[in-house]
Structure 1
Amino acid sequence: MPHSVSLINTIAAGLGLALILGFLAVRLRLPALVGYLLAGVILGPFTPGFVADMEIAAQLAEIGVMLLMFGVGLHFSLDDLMAVRKIAVPGALVQIAVATVLGGALAMWWGWHLGAALVFGLALSVASTVVLLRALESLGLLDSYIGRIAVGWLIVEDLAMVLVLVLLPPLAGVLGGRDSGGDTAAIWQTLGFTLLQVGGFIVLMLVVGRRVFPWILWQVTRTGSRELFTLCVVAAAVSIAFASAALFGVSFALGAFFAGMVMRESEFSHRAAEESLPLRDAFAVLFFVSVGMLFNPAVLVERPLQVLAVVLVIIVGKSIAAGVLVLAFRYPLRTALTVSASLAQIGEFSFILIALGMSLGLLPNEAQSLVLAGALISIATNPLWFSLIAPVQGWLHKRFAFARTLELREDPLAELPVSTEARYLSRQVVLVGYGRVGRRIAAELKAHEIPFVVAEQNREMVERLRAAGTAAVWGDAAEPAVLIQAHIARAQVLVIATPNTLHVQQMIETARLLNPAIQTVIRSHNEEEARLLAEDESVTVFLGEQELAQAMARRVVKHATA
């Protein structure tokens, strides 16, 4: 077969086989990505038959990572990142340290030297952002506060791995690898230069990019060409990611993420997300296929106990460490379980780190096979852990009093202070969610001097609201205790302004039980969901697209009849 068509061969074989095996996996009630991974194993060099071009597959997967991270940036603003910094930054750093110690101890037990153990532990410590995004999107949690914590946590992990990848070559000689000629002064110089590069890139994107790229998108939109608009979006994602890696030493994934963040400032960000969605999905499939291609199934037979130990570190060790950290920050049990499930896998940065360690002579040959085995198994089983969150939470509540106290424990933000003015506690509005929509509703309520209580999952936001004199209670409004603390029994209206409508029915039932006369106002993005909720006479549902169309129609009629 001519080499000139290897790209076509790889895409055709990868997507075609992924479709067949993904379909079979779904019919067997398994996640589709299990089929994608198996497609990669079949197309890889370690199984008989057709072998796809691994180098091209890896590059296609890299494009997929760029587009996926760009999509995350389009939904994840700087405000979102700053809102979760108090848990994401220390949580990610401590979890990396714990996982590195666990993986390193395992490697030392196998007789590896300290440098190999350190690199191996780091490779097991960082989760795949791509896998997390797919899981959160499928569960409808990407725009939720829990989703923002998980994504922010992984962004901090990615930033930490950027520093590790830059520092590893000059440290190789000290760690037992091939000496790259680095001394202490060179190491500090490299660290300082790396921090300057990453800092410079972030400042450039947030200061200059937030003004330039939305303006460019607006100019392209004015042409009226859909093709140019789509090209502008894809070119921005790929070219900014490439430039960030070439000029600032930042990873492709991180560069694409910040490109999406600055593009979000444009009023066309939602359209940009929709236009890039088909490409993101197609290349995401190729990412999972490329992971499967790297896997040698023989390692499962030759080193079964070592593979099992690696999988336990990734799925159990990391998850417990992350869960304990989230609980230590006084977040609910469900949040801890969700973050734990999010981190119970490894991915793209692990592959890059282990490959660099091999090239520097720091790791034995079996290290790559073990990491790939751990990645494949943890990625394939990750949807299972997400599906077990609710059953595990219910089981813990039934069996252990301690689990129940985690939800009901005393917390100054989980209940309204005694000093809250009486006007807030009678015929007030209970506003669930203080995001972009919630803030606008609150401003209108203030303007009309209507008392309200905010129920919000973001602890830092509740602190700021209380400091500003606004009555606010922290927690998930799906839990009856939160609505009780917001005095739903005395409220006149319940407003659910969160984009995540997963537990809306539960909130309505709790409110109705405590206050049968209460009126409920809800936002929704799903027409079928809106229709079902609107069947209740006491519930008013606002569908985003419908309200926009009606507002535009009123304006058109006004101008046409003037």
Structure 2
Amino acid sequence: MLILELAVILFASKIAGDISVRLGQPSVLGKLLIGIVLGPAVLGIVNDTDILKEISQIGVILLMFIAGLETDMDEFKKSGKAAAFVGVLGIIVPLSMGYLAGLVMELSAIQAVFLGLLLSATSVSISVQALKEMNKLKSKEGSAILGAAVIDDILVIIALAFLMSMAGEDVHLGTVIIKKVIFFAVAILLAWKVVPIMLRKFAPLRVTETVISAALIVCFSFAYLAEFTGVAAIIGAYIAGVAISFTDYKHEVFEKIETISYSIFVPVFFTSIGVAVKFSGVGQYIWVIVALSILAILTKLFGAALGAKLAGFNWRSSLGVGAGMVSRGEVALIIAGIGLETKLLSNELFTVLVVVVLVTTIVTPPLMKVIFKDQQMEEKVA
């Protein structure tokens, strides 16, 4: 029963998050791990149902919306060069190494490219939470990670469309690019001209919480528009948050949306990642999982870090940025699903890659914690 499952998830995620913090780790790590315990992989108390996935989707959209609200645009503009370097090199290194790994695994050339492309994806929703807990979301590192995530998403999706057209799928590269250009053009125009007017018109309405409702309408509309045009919904939600951050309603929206989000939707999102894990049948591929997990972590970590270093960051900050890009999250899972559907991935390799994605997601928060903690200690000594 969904209502009982929600009660269990909320109770367990808060307790697990608290334990994680007491052990010196971000709370998100505890929420991810308790999801595995509650799900079919261990206790089977919570099932990976469609309605839980929908609630989880709302959670990640709201999380990125909040990240947009908190974005310091002055710092974001300064990090434009870093975001570009991190986004591009954070794709090139995993893509090339993933391709070589695919050839070693005796995959066809196009399957090897697909594997490399999947390992190039990134999802910063987990990183956003870790950055928030360390008060780093508004830092130059946080801005670089968020900016690079947008660039990463665009480049990976365009590359995926190109690969699908080569694989014989009915996907036209020109159409894909045009749809994305249209999305960003329309989103920027709406953010600039329509969003402020909409909030001002809603504010005087004689019903409760009109501004918050208007903000949610903007958030979900931008997320839908992004998904409809082939851009991740989280990018649309992030842009919506940035748009509202320029209005006079920023603080009111942030405070109430954060309350709504962290009381139910965001905990469900983090816990549901663990709930979705199924370990059946992966035992015989354990060494493949270990090898691909190490490859996925190191290539994104050092590829993105190299980009940050070339943009002028010191090595400690560069590694922090690289760590923030490690999690593959839902973006990689979406690509894996496409690969399974188009026969570019076998059922066995699909299962292996789902576990690899989970490993990168679990590793990201503690990795960021260690690097940024050391950085803060160095700054205090200096």
> TM-score, normalised on structure 1?
0.62
For residues 277 and 390 of structure 1, the distance between their equivalents in structure 2, rounded to whole angstroms, comes to 24
In the other structure, the counterpart of 1:499 is: none
Code of the residue aligned with 1:160 in structure 2: it is L
Residues 393 and 8 from structure 1, CA distance in 2 versus in 1: closer, same or farther, beyond 3 angstroms? closer
Q: Distance in 1 between matches of 2:250 and 2:166?
A: 42
Please name the residue that 1:114 is paired with: 109
Is residue 277 from structure 1 mapped to residue 245 from structure 2 by the alignment? no
2:304 to 322, 326, 341: 322
The CA deviation string for residues 93-141 of structure 1, in whole angstroms up to 9 with x for no partner, is 2221210122222222122222222222222222221011011111111
Identity %, equivalent residues = 25
- 1:121-520 to 2 correspondence within 5 Å? 121-173=116-168, 180=169, 182=170, 190-223=172-205, 226-246=208-228, 248-281=229-262, 282-298=264-280, 301-389=283-371
Contact 2:85 2:311 in 1 (8 A): no
User: One-letter code of the match for 2:108?
Assistant: H
Q: Residue 223 of structure 2 contacts residue 234 of structure 2 at CA under 8 Å; is this kept in 1?
A: yes
After superposition, give the CA deviation of every residue in 1:186-228 in whole Å (9 maximum; x if it has no partner).
Answer: x6xx222222222222122222332211111122223475522
Distance 1:242 1:42 in 2: 32
Partner SS, residue 303 of structure 1:
helix
The 1:108/1:44 distance shift into structure 2, 3 A limit, reads farther
Q: Distance in 1 between matches of 2:78 and 2:23?
A: 40
Using a 3 Å threshold, how does the CA distance of structure 1 residues 394 and 148 change in structure 2: closer, same or farther? Answer: closer
1:31-89 Cα offsets, whole Å, 9 max, x none, are: 43233223322343344543424322222221112111212222336665443222212
- Confirm or deny: 8 A CA contact 1:354 1:367 kept in the other structure: no
Partners of 1:100 and 1:121 within 8 A in 2: yes
Over 3 Å counting, the alpha-carbon distance change for 1:163 and 1:48 in structure 2 is same
Secondary structure of the residue that 2:313 maps to in structure 1? coil
CA contact (8 A) 2:121 2:331 kept: yes
CA contact (8 A) 2:222 2:236 kept: yes
Q: Residue 66 of structure 1 contacts residue 253 of structure 1 at CA under 8 Å; is this kept in 2?
A: yes
SS at match of 1:388: helix
User: Which structure: larger Rg?
Assistant: 1
Structure 1 stretch 351-360 or stretch 370-379: which is displaced more? 370-379
Decide whether aligned partners of structure 1 residues 202 and 49 sit closer, same or farther in structure 2, where only a CA change above 3 A counts.
closer
Greater mean deviation of Cα atoms: 95-104 or 356-365: 95-104
The alpha carbon displacement at 1:326 in A equals 2.1
SS of the aligned residue for 2:339 comes to: helix
Amino acid in structure 2 at the alignment position of 1:124: L
Unaligned segments of structure 2, at least 5 residues: none
| Structure 1 letter corresponding to 2:334 | I
Q: Is the 8 A contact 1:10 1:53 kept in 2?
A: no
Distance 1:244 1:49 in 2: 34
d(CA) in 1 for partners of 2:31, 2:105: 32
Partner of 2:100: 105
The answer on whether the counterparts of 2:120 and 2:156 sit within 8 Å (CA) in structure 1 is no
Deviates more, 1:296-305 or 1:150-159: 296-305
When you count strand as a share of all residues, which structure comes out higher?
Answer: 1
Q: 1:34 to 1:141 in 2, by over 3 A?
A: closer
CA distance in 2, matches of 1:30, 1:298: 28
Work out whether residues 31 and 380 of structure 1, in 8 Å CA contact, stay in contact via their aligned partners in 2.
Answer: no
Question: What amino acid is the match of 1:373?
Answer: V
- Alpha-carbon separation, structure 1, partners of 2:21 and 2:85: 38
Residues 1:140 and 1:59: Cα distance change in structure 2 (over 3 Å): same
- Per the alignment, in what secondary structure is the counterpart of residue 378 of structure 1? helix
Give the corresponding residue for 1:543.
Answer: none
SS at match of 2:217: helix
Moved more, 269-278 or 6-15: 6-15
Aligned AA (1:69): M
CA distance in 2, matches of 1:329, 1:90: 7
In 2 relative to 1, CA 34–320 (structure 1 residues): closer, same or farther, beyond 3 Å?
Answer: same
Which is further off, 385-394 or 110-119? 385-394
Amino acid at match of 1:337: L
Output the amino acid matched with 1:66: I
- State whether residues 358 and 365 of structure 1, in contact with CA within 8 Å, keep that contact through their aligned partners in structure 2: yes
Higher helix share: 2
Q: Is the 8 A contact 1:64 1:284 kept in 2?
A: yes
1:52 matches 2:74 = no
> Shift of the alpha carbon at 1:314?
2.4
Q: 1:298 to 1:87 in 2, by over 3 A?
A: same
One-letter identity of the residue aligned with 1:267? D
In the TM superposition, residue 168 of structure 1 has moved relative to its aligned partner by: 4.8
**Higher mean displacement: 257-266 or 358-367:** 257-266
CA contact (8 A) 1:128 1:348 kept: yes
Question: 1:251 Cα shift?
Answer: 2.3
**Greater RCO between the two (CA within 8 Å, min separation 6)?**
2
